[in-house]
Amino acid sequence: MKAIVDCNSFYCSCERLFRPDLRKRPVVVLSNNDGCIVSRSDEAKNLGVPMAGAYFQARPIIQQHNIAVFSSNYNLYGDLSWRVMETLRSLSPMVEVYSVDEAFLDLSHVPVDELEAAALHIRHTVEEWTGISVSVGVAPTKTLAKLANYIAKKNKAASNCIKVLATPEQLAPALQSTRVNNVWGVGRAFANKLINQGITSAWELSTMPEEWAHRHMGGITGVRLIRELKGIPAIDLEEPLKVKKMIATTRMFGEPVGDIGSIKEAVATYTTRAAEKLRRQHSAAKVISVFIVSKEQDHMIDFHHGPSISTHITLPIPTSNTQELIKPAVDMVDQLFTRGKEYKKAGVMLSGLVPDESIQGNLFVSQEKNNNRFLMDILDNVNFSMRGDILKFAAVGTARNWKMRQELHSSRYTTRWDELFEVR
C-alpha cells in the first residue's frame, strides 16, 4: 500500500501558523511580484476567489470580504516543508518527496485493517509536530493514492481529511465518481481526447485494454496509468535525488527593465545563487546558459510573457567558483540584449555537472587561483551565518531596483533571528 500526504492550502497554512487571528479568516498568497493568486484557504475558495487569477482582478472580492493577502515567503515555506518531510521520514521507512507540499509514503508494512488508523496517526502527528494540516490518501498504487487524496480533500468535514481505497468495494465507487480529467497523469489535452471518445470517468478509463492505452495514450506511459488504475503497481516510489544534474536560478523582475546594466546585475546575482547551490552539492559546472524574457508590447496581453531568448557557453574547465561563472554569464547578456526593449525575467542555468573533487589543479596558474575553492567556502560560511549577502561581488550591484515586488511579505519566523515570532 502507498499513501500520499498533501498539505492543505500549504502556503496559507504556513502564514496562519504564526497568525492565530487568521485561523477562521480567508487567506490568499500571491506569486512572484504579487501577480497571481497561488494559494487559497478553504474560506477564500468558498467566496469565489479564483486560483491562478490575477491579483488586481480579484482585488474587489478580496476587499469586500476582508481577505488577508500575503506575498510569497519562500524562506518560511521551505523551512516548514522540510519539517513536514522530516516528520514523515520518522513515520515511514520510505518517503518520496513529490513537491514542496506533497510526499508519497510506503505503507506496505501496515495490515489492511489498520490502514485507516495509520493514516489518522500520520495526519495527527504531522499537525501536532509542525502545525500544518494535511490530507492523507491511501491505496495500492500511487495513482489511486492521489485519487484517494483528491476525494479526501473534496469534503474535509466528512472524510476527516483521510481516504483509504484498499479493497475492490472501496475502489469501484471512487473510480466511478471521479471524472477522467481529475486522474493524476491525465493532462488537459488527453482528458479532452478521452471525453470525445466517450471515456468520462476514471472507472471507464480503468476498463480500457493496455493495447489501446499504448496506442492512444503515449505508449508505455499510458499502459502504466491503466495498470495503476486497476490496482497493479507500475510506478515505484523513488529515492530522493541527492545530486542534481542541472541547477537553475530564475526570477521575475519587480518591474520591466530596459537598461542593460540592471539586467547584468540580475544575471550576476542569479549566477551567484546558482554557484552557491553548486558548491552545496560539491559539484562543478561545465556549461552555463543565460536567458532573458522580453515584455509583450501589446498592452492588451501585457500580463503574458514575451519571447524568451537564450545562449550558452562551454567552459574550458568545470568550475564552481562564483567569479569564474559571473564573467561569462554577464558577457552573454551583451549578445541577448536589444536596446529599446523592456524585459520581465532572466535566468541562469548550470549544467554538465561533475564532482568538484575530480577537477585537477593547473600547474601553469598561481597557487592562489588553484585554492579559490577555499575562498568560496569562506564566503559561503560568512553569508550563511550572517545572512543578507554580507559578502558579495560588485557585479551584483547595490540598489537592485529590478528585484521582485513583495509588498505584503510576512516575517521569516523560523530562519531569521531578528524576525522570530514573539509571544507576549
Containing H/E element for 142?
Answer: helix 142-154
- Which pLDDT value is given to residue 86? 95
Task: Give the distance between the most distant pair of CA atoms in the chain.
Answer: 73
- How deeply is 274 buried, as exposed, middle or buried, from its count of CB atoms within 10 A (0-12, 13-18, 19+)? buried
Cβ atoms 380, 272 nearer than 8 A: no
So where are the chain's domains? Answer: 93-229, 247-396
Q: Please, what's the b/e burial string for 385-414 (b: 16 or more CB within 10 A of its CB; e: otherwise)? A: eeeeeeebeebbbeeeebbbbbebbbbbbb
Domain 247-396 architecture: 2-Layer Sandwich (3.30)
- Which pLDDT value is given to residue 360? 66
Query: CA of 98: how far to CAs of 129, 142, 172, 323, 375, in Å?
Result: 20, 11, 26, 34, 35
- Which pLDDT value is given to residue 252? 83
- Which pLDDT value is given to residue 299? 46
- Which pLDDT value is given to residue 187? 83
> Residue type for 379, please?
L
Per-residue pLDDT of the chain (424 residues; tens, 9 = 90+): 999 999 999 999 999 999 989 988 999 999 888 888 999 999 999 999 988 888 888 899 999 999 999 999 988 999 999 999 999 999 988 999 999 999 999 999 999 999 999 999 999 999 999 999 999 999 999 999 999 999 999 888 888 899 999 999 999 999 999 999 999 988 888 888 888 888 899 999 999 888 888 888 888 988 999 999 999 998 888 876 667 889 999 888 888 888 899 999 999 999 999 999 998 888 999 999 999 998 875 544 444 556 788 999 999 889 988 989 999 999 999 999 988 888 888 999 999 999 887 776 666 666 556 557 778 888 888 877 766 677 888 888 877 767 777 778 888 888 877 788 877 7
- Dist. CA 332–CA 335, nearest whole Å: 5
Look up residue 384 and give its DSSP letter: H
Cβ atoms 307, 335 nearer than 8 A: no
- Which pLDDT value is given to residue 306? 61
The sign of the CA dihedral 320, 383, 408, 126 is positive
The set of cell numbers assigned to 340 is 529599446
Q: Count other C-beta atoms under 10 Å from residue 327's C-beta.
A: 13
Could you tell me which of 116, 25, 109, 113 has the C-alpha nearest to residue 62?
Answer: 25
- How deeply is 239 buried, as exposed, middle or buried, from its count of CB atoms within 10 A (0-12, 13-18, 19+)? exposed
Q: Count other C-beta atoms under 10 Å from residue 234's C-beta.
A: 17
- Which pLDDT value is given to residue 114? 93
